Amino acid sequence: MTDHVLIERPEAHPGVQVIRFNRPEKKNAITRDMYAKMTNALTVASSDPAVRATAFLGTDGCFSAGNDMADFLAFAMGGSMGIEVIEFLKALATATKPVVSGVDGLAIGIGTTIHLHCDLTIASERSVFKTPFVDLALVPEAASSLIAPRIMGHQRAFALLAAGEPLTAGEAVDAGLIWKIVGADAVERETLALAGRLAKKPPEALRIARDLVRGDRSDVLARIDEEAKHFAAQLKSAEARAAFEAFMRR
């Protein structure tokens, strides 16, 4: 495993586990190894009483540029997609303790859809949320095709997921994708403080409140699988391969 994802338990915030993207040279693009490490961290969080909240963070000016394009291309060329991304999405969707995220800058593809599974997201004003799935000849993932229309309505979900229109941080707040905006230099501090406050609450009451607010997740899990079938088929298409090759050639 690489250190492209760091798992931390900051002393200043007891009960908080941080999952930090740490691949700034590749805009925190997420590889199969990185998904596996994050799944493991989420699994540990569910069973370890010392973890009461998880916080996703990126690096200065970049949360994540989404799935690694080289991994997409490898699959398009006949390789295995692996199960890492689906395992990660399911671990995230079924996480039993609060998950928060802090975004500064780029949030692309799964770097955007991940927040649909977070309970609270803080972002800097300069953040941009975008899912260019269709431009890459792909389809929405992470059950975003189910959750996004529910929270933001058809038109905004279509603009984001099908038309690939970017959302500013302000638009993301209005759409209900994220909770609030802070200065870029405050994202990490505020995200950790928020997770720390959640970690101090009575855990059983918080678990029940969270379950009630989120509702049953079986439809979310089913949609992750349904989207994944289309996603895998499209990844093998000539139009997707052309898009990945064009990106790699830039």
Residue 140 binds ligand COA (CB under 6 A): no
Residue with tokens 């269709």: 134
> With respect to ligand COA, which residue has the nearer C-beta, 164 or 203?
164
Give the x-and-dash track for 58-87 against ligand COA (CB under 6 A): -------xxxxxx-----------------
Contact predicate 68/28, CB 8 Å: no
Q: Which is nearer to ligand COA, 69 or 224 (CB)?
A: 69
Long-range contact set of residues 208-213: C-beta below 8 Å, sequence gap at least 24: 210/97, 210/98, 210/119
Taking the complex as a whole, the smallest distance from the CB of residue 127 to ligand COA amounts, in Å, to 13
Q: Which residue is nearest to ligand COA (CB)?
A: 109
* Residue 112 touching ligand COA (CB under 6 A): no
Are the CB atoms for 177 and 129 separated by under 8 Å?
Answer: yes
> What radius of gyration, in Å, describes the C-alpha atoms of the chain?
17
List 13, 20, 27, 223, residue binding ligand COA (CB under 6 A): 27
Structure token pair of residue 47: 């069973």
**Per CB under 6 A, which region of 43-51, 105-113, 150-158, 190-198 contacts ligand COA?**
105-113
Q: Could you tell me which residues come within 8 angstroms of residue 130 by beta carbon, excluding any fewer than 6 positions away? A: 107, 108, 109, 112, 160, 164, 165, 166, 167
For residues 106 and 146, which CB has a smaller minimum distance to ligand COA in the complex?
106
Residues found near ligand COA in the complex (CB under 6 A): 26-27, 29, 65-70, 106, 108-109, 132-133, 136
